[in-house]
Amino acid sequence: MLKIKQGKATLLIDDLNEFLYMCKLKNLSPSTIRTYTQQFQYFLNHLDNNGVSATEDITQQHINTYIEALLSKDITIVSINTALRNIKVVLNYFISEELLSNKIKITAVKDNNQDNNNNHRHDNSNKRRYYTREEIEVLLKQPNTSKCSYNELRNWTMVCFLISTGCRVSTLINIRLQDIDFINMMIHFRHMKSSRAEATSRTQQFPLSKELNRVLKTYIRNTEGLDEILFPSTSNTMLHQSSVYHAIEKYNKSRGVEVCGLHMFRHTFAREMVLRGVSSITLKRLMGHASIAMTERYVQLYGEDLRGSVDEYDILRRTSANALVKKVYR
């Protein structure tokens, strides 16, 4: 692409806006564009702290110091590499448009635990994908609304919501106040995962349980300034999926639950439904699956757990041995 030479270096913020505009022209999803925006904004802050405002002034040293800054924080290697991939996409655009001439190389950060994990790959099939009932009990304990912060109350409510509905995080962050129908006890999921073959995003009506109804009313009653988004940031803006992960990770650890996985809530919901004998058709509707095949994966995955729960749900266990003896025909 031919470009007129600039008399001076272009500003980073202007070039970023141009990149985001091109993303929209390519019809990238809003969530993808938000990811690029947020991840590069963090990098912009780092550059600004180092006195860099022009795109042409970005050097390899700035990349290296940013990686060092990320490693010094309580961030997982997976999250760091995700951030670096997004930044790399933006910088590659700058280079292709001749906005940046310096050679920049961004490589994934090595996970020191990866080699150990590779040596035990046979254990991955047995890796727990759900929260135990003991962990759930700890996570669902209501905080003191008169003493807790907004973040703690919101995070508790989000955990309750995820466990009660099994919805995806992308659905959770897009829920509006108006999507909660307290009169008809229904929740409107306006942002559902859809296949590439589907022209428009799918929506879903999900039944609002009595307990989740109570939780949501407690949250709304004790939160000032809720405007449109049900679970906003402290600045009343939409949360990003990565922000939700870090918030829940911190929340879990504060409750003594070391494991953290947002999709684990969805697995937990599915497992509980399977153990309660919910049919595949009903589970498909509740989880918003486009096909029954995906639902069957959950059923097969947790169907084996039914064997271990036979004693728990066995009706004979609820009947005393003496009563059973009396009913035996002689």
Domain 12-96 is found in CATH 1.10.150: yes
28 φψ region: left (φ > 0), alpha (ψ -120 to 50), beta (else): beta
Dist. CA 14–CA 25, nearest whole Å:
17
Are the C-beta atoms of residues 262 and 245 closer than 8 Å to each other? yes
How far is residue 5's CA from residue 57's CA, in Å, rounded to a whole number?
16
- Please list the residue range(s) of the chain that carry CATH number 1.10.443.10: 133-312
pLDDT in tens, the chain (330 residues): 333 334 445 788 899 999 999 999 988 888 889 888 988 989 999 999 889 889 999 999 999 999 988 888 767 788 888 889 999 999 999 998 888 888 889 988 887 655 444 444 444 445 568 898 899 999 999 999 999 999 999 999 999 999 989 888 888 999 999 999 999 999 998 765 544 334 345 678 888 999 999 999 999 999 988 889 999 999 889 888 888 999 999 999 999 998 888 888 988 888 888 877 777 788 788 877 777 887 777 777 666 554 544 454 444 544 444 444 444 444
pTM over 0.75: no
89 vs 19: CA distance, rounded Å: 10
- Fold designation for 133-312: hpI Integrase; Chain A (1.10.443)
